[in-house]
Structure formats: structure tokens, C-alpha cells
Structure 1
Amino acid sequence: MHYPEIDAASLAEALASHHGPPVAHLLPGSGSTELIYLFPRVLRPRRALLVTPAFSEYERSLVQAGTQIDVFPLRVEEQFRLDPERLLRALDSSTDLVMLANPGNPTGVGIDPGVIEQIARAVREQAVVAVDEAFVDFCPHRSVLEKVPLHGNLYVFRSLTKFYAIPGLRVGYLAGPARGIARLSEAREPWALSAPALAAGRACLGEQGFRERTLLELPRLREELGRGLEDLGLTVFCGEANYLLARLEGAGASAAALAERLRSQGVLIRECGNFPPLDGRYLRVAVRTSEENRRLLEGLKNLLPLQAAASASG
């Protein structure tokens, strides 16, 4: 009697009540990453178009499933915004999966839900569209989760670990067509979510006050941090999540070197040179409290002149 639920039924029911789609369209998982790997392993896409820059686990999961991967790089000159017409022109006749994130990671740039539905309709006879909405709770107007029952080829990955800050408990879910969700459910291992994870997931869905406070406070903190980064000479992209992508300017600028120096001060940033097509000048910073954001900005203010001097002498 001390085992967790074999299929996380209570969380699926809570998700259905919270979001609207029936239980048959929802599959809880041990974090969205478990489901990102389960998805290609079961549905076996032959050829995928992957919108980049992107979370590295997409490519790894597709490679493990033997899927051929084409990439669709977003353009910095377009502020990493998705052009649906250009994407549709990039499809190969054998493409049967389009995979992207909304908002993007590491860009934080959001996609209008109407654009995603446009793509899903355009490829409905050819391909499945899979959207990772791991950070969409920070910009809920971007979500297409409630539209899933209207499309037979639209899947949406979601995470409870980002917005609710419970990454150690691993709670996520997938929404999609009932037939596809049934296939995925039948193929996965039982007891994927622990009893504490199930309890935490259900509790998170009831935290309306926390959601309202976060959505009220985060944009102010994000704007404050973005202005501070721009004042230091960085190019900042218009993200909508709890992080910002920025680019160091100047010859020889290195986000990796900057990250190493900040780490010695107890401040962690993410250098993004391993997110193709980004290069070594790009970095991602979390939006934290005002005090923590000021600490980051002070560290950057002290280190950026040193980096510029080192680049000039080198």
C-alpha cells in the first residue's frame, strides 16, 4: 500500500481540471525530459526539423531513436523570432516531425500561439509538431496546450519544475492527441513518479496566489536586469522567461572566460557557445531577486574591463 500510483492518475486528473483538455490527452512524467526521450522512442519519427538554438536533449533523444535531424536556425538579425513561412519552406518531403520550444531556450523569445497552430495545420497531412513549453508558465499567453484536442498532430511538453522551483522532484507532463498519448502511456515504465512528486505536482496546480505574484514581479525584475546588462554594453534579447540571453560585444569577447571568473566569486552564468548556431560571445543569466541581480551586475562591471584589456593585449 506504500507504492505510488502506477500511472500518476491523480495528477492527470488534476491537470485536466486545471488546463481543460480531458485526461485522455494528458500524460504525467518524471520531468518533461523523461517524456522528451519517450516520445521519439515510441512514435519513431524518421526525419525531424529541429528549431535551433535548442535544449540539447532534443537532439540526443532523436539520435537515440535513429531519427535523421535537419536544423532550422533562428536568425539573430530577426531577434531569434520564428518565421513560419521560412520554416515551412525548409521542410523536406520526408519530414514527419517539427520540434521547437516556446519560449525558446536559451533565447527566451516567445512564439505567438497562432503561429504554432498555423504550422500544425499546414503540416497535418505530413508531420507532427512537438512544442516544449517548459518555461511557458512565465508567459502563459504563449501556450497552445488548450488547443491540443483541436489538432491531431500537436504535442506539448510541460514542466512543473521550472516555474515552481522543484527540479529535484522531477514532475512534468505531455499533452497530445488521445491516440498518441495512449501509445506513449502503454510503452512507458510503471511507477515513474514518486509519491512526494505526485503530491508536489498536485499542490503546485493549486498555488494561484504564487502564480499571480510571480507573474506580477518577474517582468519588473527581468526589465531591471536587462537595462543593467545593456548599460554595461551587452546586447540583450527580448526574453519572456526567467532568464535573459545576452551577447558580449567587442573583438575577443568570451562568455566562457567571463563565466569562469564569476564562478570564483560565487556567481553562476551559463555560457551558450554550445547552443548552435550561437558562438562564444553569448551567455544566459537567470532573473533573480533585485539584490542578486545587482550582485551579478557589479561582478560584470568589474570584470568586463579586465576582459577587454586581456583581449586587446592578446
Structure 2
Amino acid sequence: MIPIHPRIDRLQPYVAGIRPEEGTAAIKLNQNESPYPASPKVAETFGRLRPELLLREYPDSGCLRIREALSALHGIPVSMLLCGNGSSELITLLYKSFLCDGDTVAIPDPTFGLYATVAEMAGIRVDIVPTGEDFRIDTMKLLESDPQAVIIANPNAPTGLCLQAAQIERLLQSYRGLVVVDEAYVDFAPEGTSVLGLVDRYDNLLVLRTFSKAYALSGSRIGFAAGNERLIQAMGKGRETFSVNAVAQLAAEAALSDQDYMRTTVERIAMTRQQFCESLERTGWNVLPSVTNFVLASPPVGGRTAKELYERLLSEHIYVRYFDTPRLADKLRISIGTDVEMQVVLDSLARAD
């Protein structure tokens, strides 16, 4: 019998949100996808291409055109940018590139579960640092175990809360280990949240971004990292040569060229989120003040539990997220869909009372 590596054998894999069965008419609000399509420029780009030309040749392994577009948009040199197969590949790369067996990474709790899963797979110790009672991250508490790296999702998932850039900069000023800031949801957050503009000032800062959320390209699997050129070069060495396929590169380039569409979509989602939160609160729900495209909320005390409501919604083909963990077991995380979809959710919850 072929032995399995002990770390893999005991690993608890990251569990993504379940998918509706093929052909099921469902409302899918459990993976924080955009309820709206990508920019029309994406479809226009594909419409001008012949499939045989798109699929026959290998893609550009360096994603140069996207990096040039990102450089122009964010004012960051091309040499300080690296594209990957979504943020998930970039998270794996940073562990492979900068941390060794027995090193420690500090992450807040709760946060995106993939950080811990990939760390354990790589033989990296994980220091889980509880957030405050209000679920806010205390950046300085992350340093108490003297870790070699710190990872912060900002805004955080699954809470939807954010830190201001100044709070993260204070951490950078007092800590010389690797600081990774995952800004998957930053396009939905208020001004002053992103630390992307600090990568040229702090050589220990890595910022991760994705095209999955605000750009509505979850299925394309593309994201990027920004940081000191030395860090970016190291990650590039460990990256799969053609990890970002040709379709993803074309989609990302087209989406980047339509910032007005992205901002309009983000504004629509934010308006729907506000209306949905207000409706929940009027019926007794406790809703964390999200700045993302999802909300984390607890049902009214004395009524049906979060798990019961999750199962009821699921029975009506409404997919939301339930985390059976101590701090989240009384809550549901609900992605923001269209106005119509969110009203269906509210109606279903009202029938459950």
C-alpha cells in the first residue's frame, strides 16, 4: 500500500460552500459570488476570438498584459506584481516561498479557513488568535506568539468587518516578519481600507487581490499579489508555469478596462446589502456591520436556531453558509444577491417564524 504523507493523512480539508445539483432552480448565496455578470467587455472580447486560436497555444506564463494594466491602474511597477490561479494559489505560494517546517503563522479567528488548511499542509504551525467580542481584529495581539508571518483578511471573512490602512501600517512599523493582507473584498470597502499603496514602503508586505468578487470572474480563477520585487520574484519561482489560463487572462484584462462597470456593480450590491440588513434588523436579527458583498447575522433570540434556518432555506433551494464552530454556530453568512433574491430570502425567513 502506498503511504500517505502524515500531514495530508491527518489534514482537515477546506470545505467550500455546497453547490446546487445541476438543473436545480436555486438561489446561491453561499460563496460570495457576484449576482451580476462580468463587464460586457468580457463577452465582447470573447466574441471577437476564434476558439482554435484561443485554445491551441499556451498562455503567457507571466501574464504581462494584465500586470501592465494593473500597474497603470494602481501605480505599482510591473515587477512588483504577480498573477496566480486565484488567491488560493497565491496563498499556497507564499507558504512555499517564505516559511519553513516549524515556522509559525498567526491568523485571527474567525477568518478565511484556507489560511490554516494550507499552513498545516505545508508543515507550518498556526497560531489562532481570537478576535474581540465584537469580532474586531487586534493586530498587535497577532504578534504575541512571535510568528514568522501574519495573515489578515481585510475586510475579514466571514465577519465582513474591516481595519483601516493606518491600523495595519502601525503593525508594519513594529514588526519585521511577513505581513500578508488579503484584500479580496476591498473593492466593497470604504476609502482608506487598502494597503496596496504601501507595498513600495514596506519590504515585508504582501497584498493579495482577486478578480472573483467585484469583477465577477470567480469561474476564471485569477488573482494577483503585490509586494517588494524580491518577494514577488521568489513567489514567481515557485509558481506553476502556466497556472493562469488564456481565458482567465483575457477575461481579467477586459474587466480591468471597465472600471465604471465594476464600480456601478459594487454600488448596486452595497445598496442591496444595506436594505437587506435593515430588513433583518427590523425582525430582530443581529447583523454585523459588513462592508463586503455578504453579511454575518444571528437570528432573533428565542426563535429558530441558525442551523435550523440554514436547513429550512436549503430545503427551499436557498443556499447560504452555516459554520458549525463555537463562535459562528449561532450565525448565518449570507452573500448579497439581487434585490429579488434577497426578498425571497426574507420571505422564507418570515415563514419560518
Length-normalised TM-score, structure 2: 0.80
Q: Single out whichever of 238-247 and 64-73 deviates more from structure 2.
A: 64-73
Pairs within 5 Å for 1:51-90: 51-76=108-133, 79-85=134-140, 87=141, 90=143
Amino acid in structure 1 at the alignment position of 2:345: L
Deviation at 1:253, TM superposition (A): 4.6
Q: Distance in 2 between matches of 1:111 and 1:6?
A: 34
Match of residue 166 from structure 1: 217
Q: Contact 1:273 / 1:282 at 8 angstroms: preserved in 2?
A: no
Q: Single out whichever of 247-256 and 212-221 deviates more from structure 2.
A: 247-256
Match of residue 92 from structure 1: 145
Match of residue 220 from structure 1: 271
Q: Distance in 2 between matches of 1:12 and 1:279?
A: 38
Match of residue 260 from structure 2: 209
Q: Is the partner of 1:6 in helix, strand or coil?
A: coil
- Work out which of the residue numbers 191, 200, 207 in structure 1 matches 2:251: 200
Match of residue 109 from structure 1: 161
Q: Distance in 1 between matches of 2:307 and 2:290?
A: 21
Match of residue 18 from structure 1: 73
Match of residue 123 from structure 1: 175
Deviation at 1:140, TM superposition (A): 5.8
- Work out which of the residue numbers 283, 286, 290 in structure 2 matches 1:232: 283
Q: Is the partner of 1:150 in helix, strand or coil?
A: coil
Match of residue 291 from structure 1: 340
Deviation at 1:137, TM superposition (A): 1.3
Match of residue 132 from structure 1: 182
Deviation at 1:219, TM superposition (A): 2.5
Q: Distance in 2 between matches of 1:176 and 1:261?
A: 45
Q: Is the partner of 1:213 in helix, strand or coil?
A: helix
Q: Contact 2:214 / 2:266 at 8 angstroms: preserved in 1?
A: no
Q: Distance in 1 between matches of 2:256 and 2:127?
A: 36
Amino acid in structure 1 at the alignment position of 2:61: I
Amino acid in structure 2 at the alignment position of 1:284: R
Q: Distance in 2 between matches of 1:178 and 1:256?
A: 46
Higher-helix-fraction structure: 1
Q: Distance in 1 between matches of 2:334 and 2:296?
A: 7
Q: Contact 2:83 / 2:223 at 8 angstroms: preserved in 1?
A: yes
Q: Contact 1:120 / 1:128 at 8 angstroms: preserved in 2?
A: no
* Identical pairs, percent: 33
1:189 has 2:245 as partner: no
Deviation at 1:252, TM superposition (A): 7.9
Query: Which runs of structure 1 show a deviation greater than 6 angstroms over 4 or more consecutive aligned residues?
Result: none
Q: Is the partner of 1:173 in helix, strand or coil?
A: strand
Pairs within 5 Å for 1:225-264: 225-250=276-301, 253-264=304-315
Q: Deviations over 1:216-269 (max 9, x none)?
A: 323321110001111221100000001011012435853222112111212111
Deviation at 1:145, TM superposition (A): 1.0
Instruction: Assess, with a 3 A threshold, how the Cα gap between structure 1 residues 140 and 179 changes in structure 2: closer, same or farther.
Output: farther
Q: Is the partner of 1:27 in helix, strand or coil?
A: strand
- Work out which of the residue numbers 85, 88, 91 in structure 2 matches 1:33: 88
Q: Single out whichever of 140-149 and 200-209 deviates more from structure 2.
A: 140-149
Q: Is the partner of 2:273 in helix, strand or coil?
A: helix
Match of residue 49 from structure 1: 106
Q: Contact 1:109 / 1:238 at 8 angstroms: preserved in 2?
A: yes
Q: Contact 2:220 / 2:248 at 8 angstroms: preserved in 1?
A: yes
Deviation at 1:193, TM superposition (A): 0.9
Match of residue 36 from structure 2: none
Unaligned segments of structure 1, at least 5 residues: 306-314
Q: Deviations over 1:120-151 (max 9, x none)?
A: 11102xx1111111111112621111211110
Q: Contact 2:99 / 2:148 at 8 angstroms: preserved in 1?
A: no
Amino acid in structure 2 at the alignment position of 1:106: P
Q: Is the partner of 1:271 in helix, strand or coil?
A: coil
Q: Distance in 2 between matches of 1:293 and 1:193?
A: 34
Structure having greater relative contact order (Cα 8 Å, sep ≥ 6): 2
Q: Is the partner of 2:296 in helix, strand or coil?
A: strand
Q: Is the partner of 2:107 in helix, strand or coil?
A: strand
Match of residue 308 from structure 1: none
